[in-house]
Chain A
Amino acid sequence: GAVVSQHPSRVICKSGTSVKIECRSLDFQATTMFWYRQFPKQSLMLMATSNEGSKATYEQGVEKDKFLINHASLTLSTLTVTSAHPEDSSFYICSAQRGPPYEQYFGPGTRLTVT
């Protein structure tokens, strides 16, 4: 149990376009989901905390108007990268929290390349 999926697994888009990434908890309900970004050879950086039915809470330095998060149901959260630029190219990973004891289960990640 505790499987989290992400779609797509990799995406290439042109600069200025928007990209939507889906995160689904397949076999449990997650009131809280998280979005992370990881650059090559670096650790995961938390971008935002998403609670079902409410606005996401963004970490300091993360532009909420650029990274739109929607958590419409207990099994689905989406991250939309708006007006993407090459510097947004990264590995985006979501997680879903199950609990107690509130451990997170991570998706396989989405590789975004902006050309």
Chain B
Amino acid sequence: DAKTTQPNSMESNEEEPVHLPCNHSTISGTDYIHWYRQLPSQGPEYVIHGLTSNVNNRMASLAIAEDRKSSTLILHRATLRDAAVYYCIISPQIGSGTYKYIFGTGTRLKVLA
């Protein structure tokens, strides 16, 4: 199973951009890259996903390296509500139409007012 490596924690000032890195050097060609975040005592919340090209949505941007061995989640303007644990997940296919998530340790983002 593809593994991910993320920094344990990061800090950011409010209103500033945040770049959360993730290494996934064992990724396979058809594996998607997903990002989720989790607040205490809640289920993970979907943030963004991609395969090869960079992606943007209302929450964040995802920059994927050309060799796909790393990616970066970009929060353009951090707010206090963005403080959470962010998980980078590679999802290998385990069956027809079934993709498994393996969670790493994630990055705990602290946003300073």
Contact = CB atoms under 8 A, between A and B. Distances in A.
Interface of A: 2, 4, 6, 31-32, 34, 36, 43-46, 49, 51, 91, 93, 95, 97, 99-109, 111
Contact of B43 (A97, A100, A101, A108): A108
A77 B97 CA distance: 18
B56 interface: no
Interface stretch (B12-20, B62-70, B100-108): B100-108
A34 B91 CA distance: 13
Interface string B41-70: 111111001010000000000000000000
Interface string B22-43: 0000000000101010000111
A72 B43 CA distance: 23
A22 to B, nearest CB: 14
Contacts of B98: 31-32, 49, 51, 97, 102
A46 B100 contact: yes
Given A46-B103, A106-B36, 13 more contacts: A32-B97, A34-B100, A34-B101, A36-B103, A49-B94, A49-B100, A99-B99, A101-B32, A103-B46, A104-B101, A109-B41, A109-B42, A111-B41
Interface of A, secondary structure class, is strand
B43 A103 contact: no
B99 A102 contact: yes
A103 B50 CA distance: 10
Given A32-B97, A91-B41, A105 B103 contact: no
Interface in B76-113: 87, 91, 94-95, 97-106
Contacts of A106: 36, 43-46
A102 B33 CA distance: 11
Contacts of B34: 103-104
A34 B101 CA distance: 9
Contacts of B87: 43-44
B106 A97 contact: no
A2 B46 CA distance: 10
